[in-house]
């Protein structure tokens, strides 16, 4: 029973953050209409979300075992609950930025804790894979249901309406419910060797970056995009003016990472290896040397 309680706690936590994290596209569109801001301004929300996850994960991951997984999850959930509850009351774009920074920070705390807890609950590699796949599946359910949740609060007759912000009252209540489940779950603290200082543990974590598999993941994660996604990106780049170098630079960087991850993992081969050289020239010189729209993705 205690094991099921812990699994329920990590599953619902992942479900809630799936809704919050993947709502950024909807929020960007609604912010443009409701707050009368430009597209570049609205797109900064993605950075507030992703950079907060990266920074907190990098600097706090080695400290979380000392603090405790349960406490880390509770702190993250409490932070998001307060931010969600305050969003409709403040109704300003600057606080939407704060909201996504809080969501990213909290998800970093929760994610590291959940991965470690899954390891505690698993007695074998098969059990670990099974539980991980279950939790990831629940995450995707949260992604899917998030669109429906936000759609219920959007006013179809008035694009500038702020009624969609009321969805955060519902999300704050859902996060509060998750907080209670996590608080009641018997998550056991991990035994930490206090002989090592925080600095030593941090540098021990950095040494993992030299592992080949870590390097593959580092270069491959940004480009796990299907063929349709690349074609849509290429079409968007072609629609822009020739002076729009940032979009094409980003797409070329993605394809470069894709080639590198394919070769280093030996799972698939790129059809035209010479394009990797072209992309490298592009990145070094600042000029486009290949047409991403014609680049085969496999």
Q: Closest by alpha carbon to 171, among 63, 86, 242, 235? A: 86
> What pLDDT, in 10s, does the model give residues 228-261?
344 334 334 433 433 334 444 444 444 444 444 4
CB 198 within 8 A of CB 62: yes
Using 50, 70 and 90 to split pLDDT, how confident is the model at 225? Answer: very low
Taking the C-alpha atoms of residue 84 and residue 17, their distance in angstroms, rounded to an integer, is: 12
Give the pLDDT mean for 104-118: 91
Q: Cα-Cα-Cα-Cα dihedral of 45, 47, 53, 54, to 10°?
A: 180
CB 42 within 8 A of CB 94: no
Our CA angle for 177, 100, 66, nearest 5°, is: 65
pLDDT for residue 138 is more than 90: yes
pLDDT for res 230 = 40
Strand (E) or helix (H) holding 246: helix 245-265
Backbone angles phi, psi at 183, to 5 degrees: -65, -35
Taking the C-alpha atoms of residue 102 and residue 83, their distance in angstroms, rounded to an integer, is: 7
Number of Cβ within a 10 Å radius of residue 152: 10
pLDDT for residue 107 is more than 60: yes
pLDDT for residue 124 is more than 50: yes
Taking the C-alpha atoms of residue 139 and residue 13, their distance in angstroms, rounded to an integer, is: 9
Tokens of 126: 């098969």
Minimum mean pLDDT among 18-27, 30-39, 272-281: which range? 272-281
pLDDT for res 216 = 59
Q: Is the pTM of this model over 0.85?
A: no
Give the pLDDT mean for 45-71: 86
Spell out the residues 6+ positions from residue 107 whose beta carbon is closer than 8 angstroms to its own: 17, 20, 21, 53, 76
Taking the C-alpha atoms of residue 214 and residue 249, their distance in angstroms, rounded to an integer, is: 24
pLDDT for residue 56 is more than 50: yes
Mean residue pLDDT across the chain: 75
pLDDT for res 100 = 96
Residue 295 zone, left/alpha/beta (φ > 0; ψ -120 to 50; rest)? beta
pLDDT for res 293 = 39
CB 111 within 8 A of CB 60: no
3-state secondary structure 195-236: CCCHHHHHHHHHHHHHCHHHHHHHHHHHHCCCHHHHHHHHHH
Give the pLDDT mean for 166-171: 96
pLDDT for residue 153 is more than 60: yes
Using 50, 70 and 90 to split pLDDT, how confident is the model at 94? Answer: very high
Domain ranges of the chain: 2-208, 215-294
Number of Cβ within a 10 Å radius of residue 106: 28
> What pLDDT, in 10s, does the model give residues 23-40?
999 999 999 999 989 988
Q: How many residues does the chain have?
A: 298
Token pair 């990145």: residue: 283
Residue 185 zone, left/alpha/beta (φ > 0; ψ -120 to 50; rest)? beta
> What pLDDT, in 10s, does the model give residues 201-214?
655 655 666 666 55
Tokens of 99: 């909201």
Give the pLDDT mean for 62-76: 87
Minimum mean pLDDT among 29-33, 72-76, 148-152, 241-245: which range? 241-245
Using 50, 70 and 90 to split pLDDT, how confident is the model at 128? Answer: confident
pLDDT for res 206 = 59
Tell which CATH architecture fits domain 2-208: Up-down Bundle (1.20)
pLDDT for res 65 = 80
pLDDT for res 72 = 92
Highest mean pLDDT (candidates 85-99, 126-140, 232-246, 250-264): 85-99
């Amino acid at each position: 029973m205690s094991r099921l309680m812990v699994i329920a706690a990590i599953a619902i936590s992942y479900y809630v953050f799936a809704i919050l994290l993947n709502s950024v596209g909807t929020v960007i569109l609604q912010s443009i209409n409701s707050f009368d801001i430009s597209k570049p301004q609205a797109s900064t929300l993605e950075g507030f979300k992703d950079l907060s996850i990266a920074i907190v994960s990098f600097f706090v991951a080695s400290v979380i075992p000392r603090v405790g997984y349960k406490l880390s999850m509770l702190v993250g959930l409490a932070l998001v609950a307060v931010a969600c509850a305050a969003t409709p009351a403040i109704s300003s774009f600057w606080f939407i930025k704060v909201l996504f920074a809080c969501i990213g920070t909290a998800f970093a705390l929760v994610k590291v804790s959940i991965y470690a807890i899954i390891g505690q609950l698993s007695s074998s590699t098969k059990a670990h894979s099974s539980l991980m796949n279950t939790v990831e599946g629940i995450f995707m359910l949260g992604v899917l249901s998030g669109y429906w949740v936000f759609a219920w609060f959007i006013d179809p007759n008035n694009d500038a309406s702020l009624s969609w912000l009321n969805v955060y009252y519902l999300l704050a209540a859902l996060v509060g419910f998750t907080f209670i489940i996590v608080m009641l779950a018997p998550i056991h603290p991990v035994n930490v060797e206090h002989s090592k200082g925080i600095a030593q543990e941090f540098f021990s974590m950095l040494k993992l970056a030299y592992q080949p598999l870590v390097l593959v993941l580092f270069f491959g994660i940004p480009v796990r995009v299907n063929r349709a996604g690349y074609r849509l990106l290429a079409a968007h780049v072609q629609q822009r003016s020739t002076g729009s170098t940032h979009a094409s630079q980003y797409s070329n960087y993605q394809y470069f990472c894709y080639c590198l991850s394919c070769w280093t993992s030996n799972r698939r081969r790129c059809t035209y290896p010479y394009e990797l050289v072209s992309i490298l020239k592009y990145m070094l010189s600042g000029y486009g040397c290949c047409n991403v729209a014609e680049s085969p993705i496999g």
